[in-house]
Structure 1
Amino acid sequence: MSSMPEGTELKVELKFFRPEYEKALFEDYQVSEEQEKYTALPVRAIQLCREDRDRHPIVILAEKKPVGFFVLHRGDRIRSITESPRAMLVRSMSVNLPEQGNGYAKQAMTLLPKFVSDYFPDMNEIVLVVNQHNEAALRVYEQAGFEDRGHRKSGPVGAQVLLHYRMNRK
């Protein structure tokens, strides 16, 4: 894991997946064995996006290079997580193993509300589900403004915490 010097400003952007990102996300992408329990690799998540028009693959770029990935999912298929018809679900969030520790996930989650507002203006909330034992992810999301309202659900590897980000907060 690399780390940037303290105080270094990250040039991080969120972009919709494009074919030129395939090699970086399919061939050169890895997560730790521990993280594999909690997330889907981009190759699998993008396959699901191609089968479901309500799933949108998003690439985290640092200095124009893919360093991370997640999916924005909306529509009826997320009703088991939230009843809100105007909620966007974040799925399969990860940062490529060699790039972890640079703050890319936090920066991406900080940029996310504006990205959702720009491209999905009808959405008023962002939600995500995190395994309660995935402390690093919980910390990142809470630092980016996601709130734990006490909702829990059962998941494939234990209890999961539902986090909320209310859009258009002043």
Structure 2
Amino acid sequence: MKGETMERVSLQVYSTENKAQMQSYHLTKQQLEYTAHPIDALKKCKEDPSRYPVVILTGTIPAGFFVLHEKIGVRPYSKNPNAILLRAYSVQTAFQGKGIAKSSMELLTLFLAESFPKIDEVVLAVNSANDIAQQLYKKSGFRDTGRRINGKSGEQCIFSKVLNFK
């Protein structure tokens, strides 16, 4: 049933209750060219307290994952001290094409307002060859800043979304 969201989508800060489900989180080889597997991202989160792992749930099932990175992590992407970096974003293969990515992006602003009220900008780096992800981010209010950096899989486009909570 492509194009149909299964259950209500929500964002939740990662907890150890999600650990077993993250072990079986599936991404294709092609996806892994562009993003980190949640298990690898979680290891980095353990080492760096300025990284906050977030699970995208459909009902109670983890369908996706991303990390919000503050402070030093965001500096290569924005000079704004109130910016946060969105990184390691993915939706499991079995959940793609169901509107989950779109829903998670729609929920992101409210999630940030509640969890990080001082944040007024979200930035991310997306591979220049990853057209599908670029379209998702643009439809979700991100704009291409025109800045480029070199990433593990080639050129990365820096996208930004200004947040207006007030």
Common fold, TM-score beyond 0.5? yes
Structure 1 length as normaliser, TM-score? 0.92
- Give the Cα separation in 1 of the matches to 2:93 and 2:158: 25
List aligned pairs for 1:13-162, cutoff 5 A.
13-26=10-23, 28-162=24-158
Deviation of 1:100 (Å): 1.1
- 1:14 match: secondary structure: strand
Deviation of 1:149 (Å): 2.3
- Quickly say closer, same or farther: Cα 1:58–1:18, change in 2 above 3 A: same
- 1:136 match: secondary structure: helix
Deviation of 1:4 (Å): 4.3
- Give the Cα separation in 2 of the matches to 1:57 and 1:153: 24
Unaligned runs of 5+ in 1: none
Residues 116-164 of structure 1 deviation map (CA, whole Å, 9 limit, x = unaligned): 1111111110000000101111111111111112121122221111111
- 2:159 match: secondary structure: strand
Deviation of 1:10 (Å): 4.9
Residues 56-76 of structure 1 deviation map (CA, whole Å, 9 limit, x = unaligned): 000000112110000000002
Between the two proteins, the alignment pairs up a number of residues equal to 166
Root-mean-square deviation (Å): 1.6
What corresponds to 1:11 in structure 2?
Answer: 8
Deviation of 1:9 (Å): 7.7
- Quickly say closer, same or farther: Cα 1:124–1:76, change in 2 above 3 A: same
Deviation of 1:80 (Å): 1.4
Which aligned segments of 4 or more residues in structure 1 are displaced greater than 3 angstroms?
A: none
Q: Larger deviation: 118-127 or 152-161?
A: 152-161
Structure 2 length as normaliser, TM-score? 0.94
- 1:91 match: secondary structure: strand
Does structure 1 conserve the Cα–Cα contact (< 8 Å) formed by 2:73 and 2:85? no
- Give the Cα separation in 2 of the matches to 1:169 and 1:51: 30
- Give the Cα separation in 1 of the matches to 2:158 and 2:115: 23
Q: Which amino acid aligns with 1:25?
A: M
Does structure 1 conserve the Cα–Cα contact (< 8 Å) formed by 2:12 and 2:54? yes
- Give the Cα separation in 2 of the matches to 1:150 and 1:18: 36
- Give the Cα separation in 2 of the matches to 1:33 and 1:19: 26
- Give the Cα separation in 2 of the matches to 1:154 and 1:46: 23
Unaligned runs of 5+ in 2: none
